[in-house]
Amino acid sequence: MEAAPGLRERKKQRTREAIVEAAFELFAGRGFNGTTVADIAEAAEIAPRTFFSYFPSKDDVVFHDFEDQYALVSSWLSEREPGANTFDALRAGIANSLAEFGKAGPELEWKTLRHKLVRENDSLAAHSDYLHGKFAELVSESVAEDLGDQPSDLRPRLVAAAMMAAMDVVDELSEDEAVEHSRVTFESLLAFLQGGLAALQEQS
């Protein structure tokens, strides 16, 4: 009797993955505006109403991995070792994740397509900005703890803004560049930010 919930969860996960895969295949062929929820549902072999059980809107499919990524980064920051600052924690978390980076399968292709769709669609660009803001708030809260500031204070917000600006550059890497240069790129970025944060901590 205990196996039933596990089976249901696996079925839900497979359905969600089918929706995402179908959506990105359609986006690649027809574009975002040329694809409807009904099209995605048909390609995923589900009813349109089932689509909305998994995603509030078509926009949310484009950013399907946000919740998982946000939860992962949040866990790196909240579970960091005593004495580790924000960028110590991020470097450790990313180092542990990079081993799987080149094995992401279609995720790298979807990431490249997502950037293209965001550039072409104002509503997706606005949605992307909103989600970036959520990450910036998360980093700002963590940096504020490092500095003994409030998250709304200038220093945490500046550090978070610098990180998000740097990540925007990283996000523009092509699929081949992302795989080839991922470790060097992230290490350089975080070392730069880590040094800046350490300098601010010395001033505190």
Contact yes or no for 62/111 (Cβ under 8 A): no
Please choose, from the candidates 73, 190, 193, 65, the residue with its C-alpha nearest in 3D space to the C-alpha of residue 138. 73
Please choose, from the candidates 131, 4, 153, 156, the residue with its C-alpha nearest in 3D space to the C-alpha of residue 68. 131
CA 125 and chain centroid, separation: 14
Residue 5 pLDDT:
61
Residue 101 pLDDT:
52
User: Could you tell me where in the chain the CATH 1.10.10.60 domains are found?
Assistant: 3-55
What is the spatial distance between Cα 32 and Cα 60, in angstroms, rounded to a whole number?
A: 12
Instruction: Determine which helix (DSSP H) or strand (DSSP E) holds 9, and give its type and residue range.
Output: helix 3-30
3-55: CATH topology is Arc Repressor Mutant, subunit A (1.10.10)
What is the spatial distance between Cα 154 and Cα 14, in angstroms, rounded to a whole number?
A: 44
Residue 104 pLDDT:
54
CATH number for the domain formed by residue range(s) 65-203: 1.10.357.10
CA 71 and chain centroid, separation: 9
User: Could you tell me where in the chain the CATH 1.10.357.10 domains are found?
Assistant: 65-203
For the record, the structure tokens of 158 come out as: 């500046």
What is the spatial distance between Cα 23 and Cα 110, in angstroms, rounded to a whole number?
A: 10
Q: Which regions in the chain score pLDDT beneath 50?
A: 1-3, 180
Q: Cα separations (Å) of 62 from 12, 32, 39, 183, 203?
A: 18, 9, 15, 25, 42
3-state secondary structure (DSSP) of residue 66: helix
For the record, the structure tokens of 195 come out as: 């040094």
